[in-house]
Structure 1
Amino acid sequence: MKFIIASFDGLRPDLIGPELTPNIARVQALGTTLTKHRTVYPSETRVAFPSLVTGSTSSRHGMVGNKYVDRKTVPQLYVDTADAVLIDRLNRESGGGLMSAPTLGEILHKAGKTLAVLATNTPGTTRLFNHQAEGLGHVRFSGHFPEACAPKDLLELAEAQLGPLPPNPPQGVPDEEGQVWITSAFLEFVWPRLKPDVTIISYGEPDTTSHFHGTGSKTTRDIIAYCDAQFGRVLDWWEAEGSAAGAQIIIASDHGHITAHSRVSAIDELGGAGLRAGIAPGVDIDVVIVPGQVGALYLADRSEASIARMVEVLTEKPWCGPIFTAPRSELEGIAPGSFASTLAFIDHDRAPDVYFSYRADDTVDEFGLVGGTWYDNARRPGLGVHGGLHPKELACVGIVAGSAFRADGGASDVPSGICDYGPTILSLLGIPVPESMTGRVLREVLAGATIPADPQAEPEVLETGLGAYRQILRRVRVGATTYLDGGTAGGAPVAEVTSR
């Protein structure tokens, strides 16, 4: 049995359909769609994809954000995980400790099996799919960046056959050439030569185009259709050859997008509260605000009093959504008004002192898409962002097809998540699922599964707050696995709320 995971970065499930994505829709008709599929928090690419390959949340694997501060170095180091060279160096210097949970590549290698990665994401994202590929003897090809590719001799052979890696397009220009290259590399080079046990084909769009043109814009829809057409080449191969060879298809995305509508500068706002804020550690900095759509605050003074003061300042801001700090109890963080970070599975030692999301809502944008938010970047309103806890950010694509899965063209309404792919693949390959994996085996969509046997979902709604600030976190449990369903913040309590 083999597995092909085709991922579309930032694709909202509600943009899939016969007109825009006919090939993805073909797979839906052949297999099962996971209608309540969720990503992790922060809903960022380089948190979510490590969750896919480790089967665990950031509390286990340690990739706590697209960017983070490493407090263990002297001086403290600002880490941008988009930098493949940097994260490779950090992994080597830490003796292989970049990830604090075993990855799919490592687990497969120990079982005598292989993982191939072909991706057009940032070089760092590409490396994070299988950061130990060099030592494992696995293939990892980027559609643009040679520094993310391994092994070098196979890259040279692939380029000799397919042509050189195309240049990364200018900022804001949809990436077409890269999608063609990785698709051809799989069909014409990787599969014929290596027939990997698991292959990840990661199309880096529509994420980038959504950030620069808007999630529902014509430009973004065009690149979605383009990527779908490239995947259609893989699907044609699968129907002609791959399925008979035992290949299973999994279609995924790492997160959704919502629309930025109101700009704020957190650095300016906190500076106005008397705090010396910056984007990197320094002797004159009270708080590091890691750039991005997720508020990640690293304080110079990490005392409870200092953290509590920071949270109190945040709760008074109209742009601040849900807030998390280290746990004081099962529900509450050490700062009054905050949730315990354990509730969102973000309690790793690399995590910031304070996580917060920008306040989101259900406004409808110019393209008719639900979901809007405050945001903190230099771009104009109306563009796509992600990272927070709005349900449309957490919603991600989940479709499975092949002989191992139900083939009725139906849907599973059982909650599921990006951490579940790893355990499911390992189980079907007969490889023990490690205890580090927080996801579960998706037994309800396996061949022979029946709807009445679907596991029961137990919803949970939690509330905390400080003064007029109230925040709500929605989760759902299936067996021993808990998924995030959304989080909101506002000025009034929500009725009929239960807490643990």
Structure 2
Amino acid sequence: MKILVVSFDGLRPDLISPELTPNIERVQRSGTTLSRHRTVYPSETRVAFPSLVTGATSSKHGMVGNKYVDRKAVPQLYVDTADARLIEQLNRESNGGLMTAPTLGEILHKAGKSLAVLTTNTPGTTRLFNHLAEAFGHLRFSGHFREACSPNDLLDQAKAHLGPLPPAPPQGQPDTDGQVWITSAFLDFVWPTLEPDVTIISYGEPDTTSHFHGTGAAATREIISFCDAQFGRVLDWWEADGRAAGVQIIIASDHGHITAHSRVSVIEELKADGFTPGPAPEAGVDLVVVPGQVGAFYLADRSENNLGRVVEALTERPWCGPIFTAPRNAVEGMARGSFASSLVFADHERAPDVYFSFRSDDIVDEFGLVGRTWYDNARRPGLGVHGGLHPKELAAVGIVAGTAFRDPGQNSDIPSGICDFAPTVLHLLGVLIPVSMTGRVLREVLQNAADLPAIRLEPEVFETGLNGYRQILRRICVDQTTYLEGGSVASSDLSEAAE
């Protein structure tokens, strides 16, 4: 048995349709759709994909954000995980401690099996799919970036067949050439040459185009259709040869998108409260505000009193959504009004002192899609963002097909998540699942699922707050596994979203 995982970065499940994505929809007809599939928090790419390959939340694997501050470094280091060379350096200098949970690459290697990765994501994201590929002799190809590729001899052979790696497109332009290259690399080189036990193909779109054009914009829909057509080439191969060879397909996305409606400068707002914030650690900065859609604060003075000051300032802002600090107990964070970060499985030692999501709503955007939010970046309103706890940010694609799975054309309404794919893959391959994995085997979509005992679902709702600020977090438990359903701020006398 072989496994093929195909991901579409940032694809909302509600954008799958016979008109826009006929090939993904073709897999839905031949497989099972996970209709209540969710990602992790923060709902960022370089948190979610490590969760895919470790089968665990960031509290286990340690990739706590697209960007974070390494407090153990002297001086403290601002880490942008998009940088493949920095990722490799940090792993080397930490004696292999970059990821604090074993990955599919490590687990498969120990079991005598192979993993191949082909992506058009950032160089750092590509490396995080299998950051130890060099040590294991595994193939890891980027559609653009030589520094993320390994091994050299296989890359040279692939380029001899396919031509050179295409350059990355200009910022904000849809990426077409890279999608073609990695698709051809799999079909014409990787599978015929290696037949890996597990292959991950990660199309880096529609995420980039959504960020620069809008989640439902014409350009975004065009790149979704383009990526679907490239996947159609893979699907044609699977239907002709791959399925008979025992290849099982998993289709995924790492998160959804919602629409930015009103910009705020968090740094400027906190200056008004007497803080000296900055985007990176440096002399005179008492509060590092990590750039991005997820609020991540690192305090120079980490006392409970100062933490309380920061959180109280946030609760008075109309743009602030759910807030998390280190656990005081099972529900409350150390700062009054905040939730415990353990509630969203984001309490790793690298985690910031404060996480917060921007306040979101369920208003329909100009493209007819539900979900809007405040934001903090230099782009115009109306563009796609993600990272927070709106249900449309957490909603992710999950589809499975092949002889190992249930009868075709089914929908599973049992909640599932991105952490479930790795243990399911290992189960199908007969490889021992490590205790570090917080996900579960998706037994309800496997063959003979009818013989399973009834699955117990238990919804959970948590509330906390300070003064006029009230926040709500919704989760659901499936036996021993918990998934995030969404987080929000209750209506209060704070002003609602600006129009």
TM above 0.5, yes or no, is: yes
Q: Is the 8 A contact 1:444 1:453 kept in 2?
A: no
For 2:107, the equivalent position in structure 1 comes to 107
CA–CA separation in structure 1 for the residues paired with 2:77 and 2:98: 14
User: What do the CA deviations read for 1:464-488 (whole angstroms, capped 9, x no partner)?
Assistant: 0001000000000001100000000
The answer for unaligned runs of 5 or more in structure 2 is 494-499
1:397 alignment partner AA? V
User: What do the CA deviations read for 1:61-84 (whole angstroms, capped 9, x no partner)?
Assistant: 000000000000000000000000
Q: Is the 8 A contact 2:252 2:398 kept in 1?
A: yes
Question: Any idea what SS the aligned residue of 1:450 has?
Answer: helix
Does 1:184 find its partner at 2:184?
yes
Q: Is the 8 A contact 2:6 2:249 kept in 1?
A: yes
CA–CA separation in structure 2 for the residues paired with 1:451 and 1:49: 32
Q: Is the 8 A contact 1:56 1:419 kept in 2?
A: yes
For 1:470, the equivalent position in structure 2 comes to 470
Give how far 1:492 is off: 4.1
Q: Is the 8 A contact 1:414 1:456 kept in 2?
A: no
CA–CA separation in structure 2 for the residues paired with 1:256 and 1:451: 33
For 1:75, the equivalent position in structure 2 comes to 75
CA–CA separation in structure 1 for the residues paired with 2:192 and 2:415: 36
Q: Is the 8 A contact 1:444 1:454 kept in 2?
A: no
For 2:224, the equivalent position in structure 1 comes to 224
Give how far 1:490 is off: 3.3
Question: Any idea what SS the aligned residue of 2:6 has?
Answer: strand
Does 1:458 find its partner at 2:458?
yes
User: What do the CA deviations read for 1:176-227 (whole angstroms, capped 9, x no partner)?
Assistant: 0000000000000000000000000000000000000000011000000000
Give how far 1:456 is off: 2.3
Does 1:124 find its partner at 2:121?
no
For 2:273, the equivalent position in structure 1 comes to 273
For 1:496, the equivalent position in structure 2 comes to none
For 2:246, the equivalent position in structure 1 comes to 246
1:213 alignment partner AA? H
CA–CA separation in structure 1 for the residues paired with 2:482 and 2:276: 38
User: What do the CA deviations read for 1:140-159 (whole angstroms, capped 9, x no partner)?
Assistant: 00000000000011111111
TM-score, length-scaled by structure 2: 0.98
Alignment of structure 1 residues 419-430 onto 2, 5 Å: 419-430=419-430
CA–CA separation in structure 1 for the residues paired with 2:67 and 2:89: 16
CA–CA separation in structure 1 for the residues paired with 2:430 and 2:455: 22
For 1:398, the equivalent position in structure 2 comes to 398
User: What do the CA deviations read for 1:276-306 (whole angstroms, capped 9, x no partner)?
Assistant: 0000001200100000000000000001111
Change (3 A) 1:142 1:454: farther
Give how far 1:414 is off: 0.2
2:286 alignment partner AA? D
Q: Is the 8 A contact 1:321 1:490 kept in 2?
A: no
CA–CA separation in structure 2 for the residues paired with 1:451 and 1:18: 33
Q: Is the 8 A contact 1:260 1:384 kept in 2?
A: yes
Q: Is the 8 A contact 2:120 2:143 kept in 1?
A: yes
For 2:203, the equivalent position in structure 1 comes to 203
CA–CA separation in structure 2 for the residues paired with 1:487 and 1:107: 34
Q: Is the 8 A contact 1:322 1:357 kept in 2?
A: yes
Q: Percent identity?
A: 75
User: What do the CA deviations read for 1:394-445 (whole angstroms, capped 9, x no partner)?
Assistant: 0000000000001231100000000000000101111111000000000000
Q: How many residues align?
A: 493
For 1:36, the equivalent position in structure 2 comes to 36
Q: Is the 8 A contact 2:401 2:408 kept in 1?
A: no
CA–CA separation in structure 2 for the residues paired with 1:114 and 1:181: 21
The answer for unaligned runs of 5 or more in structure 1 is 494-500
CA RMSD of aligned residues (A): 1.0
Q: Is the 8 A contact 1:267 1:277 kept in 2?
A: yes
Q: Is the 8 A contact 1:62 1:100 kept in 2?
A: yes
2:484 alignment partner AA? L
Change (3 A) 1:406 1:371: same
For 1:314, the equivalent position in structure 2 comes to 314
Give how far 1:263 is off: 0.4
CA–CA separation in structure 2 for the residues paired with 1:407 and 1:176: 34
For 1:163, the equivalent position in structure 2 comes to 163
Change (3 A) 1:454 1:245: farther
Question: Any idea what SS the aligned residue of 1:302 has?
Answer: coil
For 2:148, the equivalent position in structure 1 comes to 148
For 1:439, the equivalent position in structure 2 comes to 439
Q: Is the 8 A contact 1:444 1:451 kept in 2?
A: no
CA–CA separation in structure 2 for the residues paired with 1:454 and 1:389: 29
Give how far 1:457 is off: 1.5
Q: Is the 8 A contact 2:69 2:79 kept in 1?
A: yes
Q: Is the 8 A contact 2:37 2:395 kept in 1?
A: yes
For 2:496, the equivalent position in structure 1 comes to none
CA–CA separation in structure 2 for the residues paired with 1:244 and 1:253: 26
Q: Is the 8 A contact 1:158 1:185 kept in 2?
A: yes
1:140 alignment partner AA? R
Alignment of structure 1 residues 322-341 onto 2, 5 Å: 322-341=322-341
CA–CA separation in structure 2 for the residues paired with 1:447 and 1:175: 38
For 1:486, the equivalent position in structure 2 comes to 486
Give how far 1:347 is off: 0.4
CA–CA separation in structure 1 for the residues paired with 2:410 and 2:210: 29
CA–CA separation in structure 2 for the residues paired with 1:42 and 1:335: 20
Question: Any idea what SS the aligned residue of 1:268 has?
Answer: helix
For 1:344, the equivalent position in structure 2 comes to 344
Give how far 1:160 is off: 1.0
Q: Is the 8 A contact 2:444 2:452 kept in 1?
A: no
For 1:59, the equivalent position in structure 2 comes to 59
CA–CA separation in structure 1 for the residues paired with 2:210 and 2:15: 12
2:91 alignment partner AA? N
For 2:372, the equivalent position in structure 1 comes to 372
CA–CA separation in structure 2 for the residues paired with 1:123 and 1:198: 21
For 1:10, the equivalent position in structure 2 comes to 10
CA–CA separation in structure 2 for the residues paired with 1:114 and 1:482: 30
Question: Any idea what SS the aligned residue of 1:421 has?
Answer: helix
Q: Is the 8 A contact 2:389 2:487 kept in 1?
A: yes
1:177 alignment partner AA? D
CA–CA separation in structure 1 for the residues paired with 2:489 and 2:311: 13
Give how far 1:450 is off: 2.4
For 1:498, the equivalent position in structure 2 comes to none
Give how far 1:30 is off: 0.3
